[in-house]
Amino acid sequence: MEDVYSFAGNPLDRASERRENRAWIAGLLDDPQTRILALRDLKPFTRGRTPALDWQPVGPWRDQIETGASLIFLGLGDGRAHFAIDATGASVAPDVDTELIDVRALAPAIGTGEAAILAEARSLLDWHARHRFCAQCGSPTKVASAGWVRRCPDCKASHFPRTDPVVIMLAIHGERGLLGRNRRRAGARFSCLAGFVEPGETLEEAVRREVREESGIRCGRVRYLAAQPWPFPSSLMIGFLAEALTEEITVDPEELAEARWFHRDDPRDGGARRGRNRPSRTGVAAGADRDRPSHLPALVERPRQPVIAA
């Protein structure tokens, strides 16, 4: 099995083939076992000192559902249906022991499966908030397919949730890996370089282009490592190791404050002692940083294949 990172490993059966069955969805909402996760301003309701997602019965949210609040069928699991609802502006008050917590802060504190369900809910509710009007004719759209489609009643266009592919990569040169510090992020944390895939390019081409644009380093062979949903707002982080063909760094000041080579045997806390932090442990970037010793021989020692460097 592949490695599972934060926001991955969703345990729900999404039952996508039944989303268009309105009678079936209505039956689920009438089932007393069904649970709803409410998010207000994209922050989920949580409960307890050790935070847990606050799954609530449908009853308290019936008025919001009937008045058109964004409602998403997330899937089936543990013998019940799970939905998410946008509670922004809702009159339903959370219980006294309920707290709203930012998803980034909450994810490391809850189970892997719960974090993955939360990522699904946050991404979809954010998409609905951003896509209330038809991109084709400008008319207001209506929610369909249990929250997985928006349809335009005027031009009949259908709009589907999108996921933006992002490549995140560790370029390797000898025994060292390239990490950068984002100029727009507070603090001194270093991480793998990353960027959105552009139209008309492969994932491997995007890896080479992004590394060259941000650091001036040219890369050859590229190897897939792992993937991770990233619900801010709705990306898929696709992790790679890349063979660096050059080593002189020229930083793009619009993207990075600093980039440098880290030896693979550097102590984990060595960067922190020098005022620099390595990647956080919740993301695929940490996996690339952690796993590079085991992947390095396979990446570098294979017979060289022709490659077009970006």
pLDDT tens-digit map of 227-266? 999 999 999 999 999 999 999 999 999 999 999 999 988 7
Strand order in the sheet with 149-151: 142-144, 149-151, 158-159
Contact, 118 vs 69, CB < 8 A? no
Over residues 170-204, the pLDDT tens digits come to 999 999 999 999 988 767 789 999 999 999 999 99
What gap in Å lies between CA 18 and CA 24, rounded to an integer? Answer: 8
* More confident call, 179 vs 304: 179
Q: Can you give the C-alpha Rg of the chain in angstroms?
A: 22
Give the angle subtended at the CA of 3 by the CAs of 217 and 187, to the nearest 5°.
50
- pLDDT attached to residue 96: 47
List, in sequence order, every residue forming a beta bridge with 158; answer none if it has no partner.
Answer: 151
Contact, 304 vs 217, CB < 8 A? no
Over residues 88-136, the pLDDT tens digits come to 987 665 554 678 899 999 999 999 999 999 999 999 999 999 999 999 9
Predicted confidence band of residue 151 (pLDDT cuts 50, 70, 90): very high
Residues of the chain with pLDDT > 90, as a percent, come to: 75
* Whole-model pTM over 0.75: yes
Over residues 266-292, the pLDDT tens digits come to 755 444 444 455 555 556 766 666 655
Amino acid occupying residue 19: R
Structure tokens at 166: 């992002």
What gap in Å lies between CA 152 and CA 149, rounded to an integer? Answer: 10
The DSSP secondary-structure symbol of 212 reads: H
Range 75-84 average pLDDT: 97
- pLDDT attached to residue 308: 33
Mean pLDDT estimate for the chain: 87
- pLDDT attached to residue 49: 84
Structure tokens at 120: 């699904």
